[in-house]
Amino acid sequence: MGSGKSTLALQIHHNLSSRGLRGLLLTKLEPDGAQVTSRLGVSSPAVDISATPNLVALARQHMPLDFLVCDEVQFYSIEQCDELAVIVDNLGIDVYSFGPSTSAGVMLRIGMYPRRGSIQCFQAFSLNSRVLGAILRFDFRDCPILDL
Q: Which amino acids are annotated catalytic? A: 72
Distances in Å between the Cα of 121 and the Cα atoms of 62, 110, 125 are 22, 9, 7
Q: Strands 119-122 and 130-132, how do they pair?
A: unpaired
The burial class, CB within 10 Å (0-12 / 13-18 / 19+), for 145 is exposed
